[in-house]
Each structure stands twice: as structure tokens, then as C-alpha cells.
Chains A and B, each alone.
Chain A
């Protein structure tokens, strides 16, 4: 079975993309050119991989750690469903995940 996720890209296009086990979600979003840059490579330094997760999915993702929450604090575009996609590792359990790439 292929595990997919649904993205609204930074340009506003809706796409369904295939996950790759063990990849950071940030890396997938960057590879698929959805508008995510991931400048710092997943070190929680740049916050350039900011996404909004479908509220139904929030509780099903790995829990927010203090370091991620502190980085999210900096973002003027923060919402209740904000996450940094570098902190989410892809696995089959995420099949159907729905998210939106946050503005710059």
C-alpha cells in the first residue's frame, strides 16, 4: 500500500503526494517543490518549513517538543495548528495527512 499525503502548496495548488518512509516531512515537501525551503536542514533554526496541519490530524502527530514550540513562538503567521515539518518523520501511519504550506 502506498501512503500519501494531501498538500496545499504555497502557491495554493492542491496535490496528493507519496510519502517515503523515514524521510522528514520537510524533506518531502522540499523535494516535491511545494514552497518549503528547509534552509537549516531540520535543526529548528530557521522555521522555513512551517505548515498548518488539518485539525483532525493534530493529535495524531508526534507531540510538540519545547524546542519546536519555542521556534513556532517567533512566527507571526502562527496558528493553533502550526507545526514545523522537519519535526515529523514520515511513516505509513501518516497516510492521508492533510496540510497547508504556511506563508513566508
Chain B
């Protein structure tokens, strides 16, 4: 390895298989890899396991998991976590994989948006429809403001202290943060396109009381324009213009917080030179579920092959087959032995049941 490729052990973390996405298919892949004696580490943009099951439909019943007539997205996630637990998977949540590259030693290196570096001989992409990212306002020229005066979430309350703050949205996040930040800001205006809110009733009451008492403002309308110092080139916001049915209102503002929910996008995966289908799914073969780059596999909703069905059960099958090839790559000097959990004492030991 040349010095340029050297990554200090402090920041480099090695494992057998890096799994991008901790949804149901990624979680079951941990199990299939674990049976073969392979360690896995999962990276996900969300703050918990389950992917779409946990984020989109935690309470809704799923009826097409073999052998389980009905199960909710959250319970399925919990059960898969339980099933994967003997193999001690490692999780990295709230991180998005930004770069994937091949090292001179043949292994892959992944760098996340938090700057973490992971190294493994095998990568499984189990990213579903892509990563959940906040929807951005549909306005031109907002990029310089992002992360400086325009935010899609509150990471540090200090970012908003003493500010003239505009909050956009009508759901729980918008109203909860409005009430939370209200005591520490100079002024606060809530903007929503109608005067109905889908947040919890007591939160709506508290907000309406604050407006009635003159502690904050409410403006009905949509974002029209942002104005900044020197045309906003340094991301310093000075005003937010809101368009309503009766005309436009310009609000003095140096902080803007918008809550437009989450969008799912393929993200950086699109830049990894893998063969794609329709620009949205990764092409794989149906023997190993390997992508056009050997060592990189795609399983679950993210992949495409003739006859593909986006079903959780298909993703389970795909993970089991991909794990076989992952073993051959990660353990080139060992022989792959096919065994059943019902009869193999070796598998039962790995499962910690024997």
C-alpha cells in the first residue's frame, strides 16, 4: 500500500461486508452472512433500523411475509434485529455514504458524510429507493444559504439564538420547534399555506395562544423569495418574502427553518459507475445479485433484473444468494460448506442456540 492509501486505524474501520441501508433486506443479509461466519456493518441515513418499514409505515400491517400472516413494519424490524443479534452487527446511523472506491489492495473503501472511513472486501447495497433527505424549498439560488441561515432540521439550538426566525410548515416538526425555539429567538414568524395544522391539537393551541398574545406571528402563504446580504453570496439571509392570495409580505429574517418532509432519492449511488436501469435501479445478475462491479452487490428494492418484484420476500432471497458469493470473495482460501440451521452444530453455535 502506498502512503496515500494509508488510512490511520483510528479512522478506518474494517469489516467483512459493508451494508448500505439498514432496512429489512439489509438486516436479513446480516443473518445470512452471519451463518457463513461473515461480519457485517450497516450504514443508514435514518436514526434507527427498519428503512421504509420504520419510516413510512411502522404501524401498518404487512400481509405477505411467508409464515407470518400479519405483522407491522415496526414489529418486523424488531424481529429481524432479534434474528440478526447473535451475529453482532455494527450500526452507523445518521450517516449517508458519499464515496465508494476500490483500493489498490482490492478492497472497497466507503466514506460517509460524517467523514468516517470503512473498508471491506464486499459491499452490499440494500438502499431501497435510496436515501431519505429533507425536501428543499422550490426556490432558485438557495444553495449558499443552506447550512448557514437556511436549515431543514435543528441540530444546535444555538444556531437560532437571538435570531429573527421564520419557520415554514404545518406539521408536528414545524410546530414543536416553533414552540421550542420561541423563548430564545428575537422574533419568530410561522408560515404555512393554510390556517389548518395537522400537528397535535395541544401544540396547535399553544401556538395559537402565542400568536394571540403577540409573542410570535403567523403568516398564511408560500415562500416566494429569499433576500441576502450582497445578493446572498455568503449565505447571510436578511429577509424572506411570502406570497399569499392577498399579495406578498416581506419578513425580516436571518434564519429560516423549513419542514417539507422527507424525499427519497438515489443520491451518490448514481455516481458509482454501476450499470443502472432507468437511472433508478442497479442492474444485477440473478445468480449472485452482483452489480457490474465484482464485489459490489445490490439486494432488495434498489436492484433490477428481468422479472424483478419489489417485495420484501424477494430481497430476503437475494441477500441469501449474495452472501454465498460474498463468502467466496471475503474468504478466498476457505471452502464454502452448505449447511442447514436445523442440523448443523456449527450454525447453531453461531446462532448461539447450541
Contact = CB atoms under 8 A, between A and B. Distances in A.
Nearest to B194: A73
B157 interface: no
B192 interface: yes
B116 interface: no
Interface string A41-64: 001011110000000000000000
Contacts of A77: 138
A40 B136 contact: no
Given A40-B56, A43-B56, A75 B135 contact: yes
A46 B171 CA distance: 15
Contacts of B265: 104
A43 B129 contact: no
B137 interface: yes
A66 B171 CA distance: 13
B177 interface: no
Contacts, number: 54
Given A37-B129, A39-B129, A103-B138, A74 B261 contact: yes
A42 to B, nearest CB: 11
A40 B57 contact: yes
Contacts of B93: none
Contacts of B223: 76
How many chain B residues sit at the interface, stated as a range, is: 20 to 34
A69 B278 CA distance: 31
Interface in A57-97: 66, 69-70, 73-78
Interface string A23-40: 000000000010001011
Contacts of A78: 193, 222
B198 interface: yes
A74 to B, nearest CB: 4
B348 interface: no
Query: When A and B form their complex, which 8 residue pairs have the shortest distance between CB atoms, in order from nearest?
Result: A74-B261, A70-B198, A45-B56, A76-B138, A76-B260, A73-B170, A39-B129, A76-B137
